[in-house]
Amino acid sequence: MASICNSSLNSPPNTKAQWNPSGTRPHIPVKSIMKFQRRRIPLFGSFGCRAASSEMAPQSSFADEDPMSLDNLRRFIDLNVGKWNGAFYQFDAKGNLLHKVDTRLSASSYGEDQLISLIQTLYIKQPPSSTSVSGEEDDEPEWGEYKIKETNMFTVDKYQQIGFFPGERAFSLRYQTATMLESVLRQGVLGEDDTGEESPRNLKLPSRRPSMVCENCLYSKEREMRARAFHVMDPKGVIEMLLIFLEEKSDQLFVSPSLANSKEFDSKIIPFLGRWKGQSVTKRSGVYGATIAEAESMASLEMDDKGHLVQNIASTSNNGEVKTSVHWTGTMSDNLVTFDGGYQMTLLPGGMYMGCPSDVAKSVAESKSFHLEFCWLETPGKRQRLVRTFDFEGLAVSSTYFYETKL
């Protein structure tokens, strides 16, 4: 992630000048969000999830590739360039919606060859100020402007640890701070009434020094839309909040896409029940050899007559040499599913769930790797999953993309 600049207040971005200012440098895509200091992050020692590697594609039948080639960087930039209308959703660890904020993103590139870079500006819709006078002529909402520094050949591997899947249109990013996310919440919930206090009333902000901020992004197979999911963990490695940007690409300003679904089931778990078959692609980070592996995956999730969940996951490498499997049983409480394998899934609206370690203390003691997962079931019977695996020191080991169909 590239780094973030300070934000400032602007009028609503309802002109082309605001969306794609000519004469100024283009705006970054959501991917290059933060500037990191060069250091290994110990993650309060170590923490992880025992079954993290069991669900990942095997590491055989791979081919070497550069951590991020110039061609891949161009494709990454092309994927992100554009104007994105969206909404930002904040959930607690149990899947309860805390806040929704309308956002707009303008992203573009500049430079050529090795100097090509990606820049973005995020616009955040602000609520009316408590000091505003009703009936004023200008009923237009105010928008906060948040400029994000560039992503380039230097930042993509050294700081952002990007896991990029060009063909599948998906990627993972690693952040060192939650500054951008805090800015969206402050400007989108408090607006001009923000006094700058560290713990505002009725607003949960991310920790100033989170142990982990990870973004998993999946693009729609049906339309020019994407979902960007953020796991934010506090300094002790406990899930602090889950955040979603749901964005649609368009030059026109219109109503932001919504997670609300009129066909939502009584229980959010129902669409995920059953047997799923698909393919997975694993890409390891440059630090670990930049290898690629492909595999066939088979997963099932069933609920017994006592309401317990049973999950089985199997993976076979394309050459048939490596097979892995995992069996979990779990329980469900409202939107939270907890498995005995030390893993939990938080069910969200719109056919989404986010997974992460549930027993962090045990993982810390055992120095185990862990993974963070985002699943999007955009249409019935078809889903995408993106899984980001970290070692116990917090370095990205690999990213795995799954595309699965319900049998």
Q: What is the pLDDT of residues 237-294, one digit of tens each?
A: 889 999 999 999 987 766 667 776 545 555 889 999 999 999 999 998 755 546 688 9
- What domains, with CATH codes, occur in the chain? 4-406 (2.40.128.20)
Separation of alpha carbons 71 and 271, rounded Å: 38
Encoded amino acid at 81, one letter: V
**Among 133, 55, 28, residue whose Cα is nearest residue 375:** 55
pLDDT range class, residue 372, cuts 50, 70, 90: very high
Res 3: pLDDT: 36
- With beta carbons less than 8 A apart as the criterion, state whether 248 and 235 touch: no
Q: If 0-12 CB within 10 Å is exposed, 13-18 middle and 19+ buried, where does residue 135 land?
A: exposed
CB 387 within 8 A of CB 373: yes
Q: What is the predicted pLDDT for the residue at 66? A: 46
Q: What percent of the chain has pLDDT over 70?
A: 75
DSSP code string of 30-62: GGG-----SS---TTS----TTTGGGSPPS-S-
| Per-residue pLDDT at 233 exceeds 80 | yes
What is the reported pLDDT for 396? 83
* Each residue's pLDDT tens digit, 124-155: 999 988 776 555 555 688 899 999 878 888 88
Cα-Cα-Cα-Cα dihedral of 276, 318, 218, 177, to 10°?
120
pLDDT at 390 over 90: no
Kindly indicate the confidence band of residue 195, based on its pLDDT and cuts at 50, 70 and 90.
confident
Of the listed ranges 66-75, 135-144, 238-247, 353-362, the one predicted with least confidence: 135-144
User: Does the reported pTM lie above 0.95?
Assistant: no
In the predicted model, what is the mean pLDDT of residues 29-52? 34
How far is it, in rounded angstroms, from Cα 193 to Cα 393? 39
